[in-house]
Amino acid sequence: MKKYGETIVVFDGYGKLSTKDMVHQRRTKGKAGLTVTFSEDIKLTMKKENFLANSTNKQLFINLLGRFLGKKCKIFHAPGDADVLIVEKQWNLLYLWILHWLARTQIC
């Protein structure tokens, strides 16, 4: 982190429709695990695959992990596909850079 500056973590969201829904369904082979109520103090005794086969469990785990990592990193939670959020943020930065460049060169 010291060499590159601030660390940014972007998580996929599992609450909305996403461009990755077909990939998620293929990975779980169409299975849907049970929704599990858990916290950071609870040791999970079920298989990881069964736990992660449920999108609610995944989202709750990502939220918990985000709170933990947020102590040292900047965290973003995408509503769906994280790639879309990353591209949007990069596009906004590029747009601002272009506006700044145009203002400095007085082309507009």
The string of pLDDT tens digits covering residues 23-74 is 666 666 666 678 888 888 888 888 888 888 888 888 888 889 899 888 888 8
Q: What is the mean pLDDT of residues 72-95?
A: 77
Q: Could you tell me the pLDDT band of residue 78, with boundaries at 50, 70 and 90? A: confident
pLDDT at residue 13, rounded to an integer: 80
* Beta bridge pairs of residue 11: 77
**Is pLDDT of 85 > 70?**
yes
pLDDT value at position 30?
A: 63
The verdict on pTM exceeding 0.75 is: no
The mean of the pLDDT values for the chain is: 78
